[in-house]
Amino acid sequence: MNIQWFPGHMTKALRMMEENVKIVDAVGYVLDARAPLSCFNPSFQSLIGNKPCVFILNKCDLADDGKIAIWRNYFRAQNQPFASVTATMSAEAGKIASLFEQATQNLKDKLRSKGVFKPIRFMIIGVPNCGKSTLINCLSGKKALITGDKPGVTKGKQWVRLSSGLELLDTPGTLWPKFDNETVASRLCFIGSVKDDVVDVCEVANSLLEQLCQLYPELLERRYKTQCRDKKVNELFDEIAVRRGFLLKGGEIDRERCAKAILDDFRKGKIGKITFDLPPEIIQ
């Protein structure tokens, strides 16, 4: 599956982030808990530099609890500030805010020792649709930013100041110019980081079924009441379409409708709690 999607606004977004990273003190890096490794953007490596970075594994209500625990241990072993959250839940705000405060405490102490009192600024970064704006809204306790369950909602930079004095810079979700790894590309499609209208949704849905058959066959079989381990992916797709009544006149399968339904089931957690990626040194 050959997927490339790097619209012009992402180039502008990267340039804007490169300019504004000079005026922030730290970075909040949001990853989708269903595909954390796939959400690491190579373009962000030089952007972060030596600034303190807090990783936030978001959408944990949709992710595999066991694999989240593995990621938690991975970040701890790296001595890397990390939180696993569901940013749509207001109760998570305290956990995230506390982590941000801890990650920049040394910097605040250093500034105060020099008699400098200024708000600490975080730049919030991540791929499209990972929940950056939702995270900021959670921290602010109000709908300070527009959000949406699709990529491209945030078009430019937006500053939000919290009651604690912390200032957060929301940035547009940004991918990278070329996907060298088809598995990464497909998983970004699954979680909605790539717009559905720029890909073949039937191909994406088939890839999703194939990977779920390998990693979570029992969840797939429970959702669609069928066996998947002894079927080819196209046979499984057709069976799901027939069972769900996704048919055109004459009994022909409505493939696009079925594909969109399968992707929607995954994205809404109807298939189950799923995480595709493990940390780099762990082989699946």
- What is the SS3 assignment for 121? strand
In which band, very low, low, confident or very high, does the pLDDT at 145 lie, cut at 50, 70 and 90?
Answer: low
State residue 146's pLDDT score: 47
Give the mean pLDDT of 32-44.
95
Beta pairing partners, 125: 29
Whole-model pTM: value is 0.90
- pLDDT tens-place string over residues 233-276: 999 999 999 999 999 988 899 999 999 999 999 999 999 999 99
State residue 66's pLDDT score: 98
Which among 107, 103, 21, 3 has a CA at the least distance from the CA of 56? 103
Tokens standing for residue 55:
């990783």
- Assess whether pLDDT exceeds 80 at residue 1: no
Whether 135 contacts 30, CB under 8 Å: yes
In which band, very low, low, confident or very high, does the pLDDT at 158 lie, cut at 50, 70 and 90?
Answer: confident
Burial group, residue 143, by CB count within 10 angstroms (0-12, 13-18, 19+): exposed
Q: Sketch out the chain's domains with CATH numbers.
A: 10-170 (3.40.50.300), 200-267 (1.10.1580.10)
Tokens standing for residue 203:
């191909």
Q: What is the mean pLDDT of the chain?
A: 89
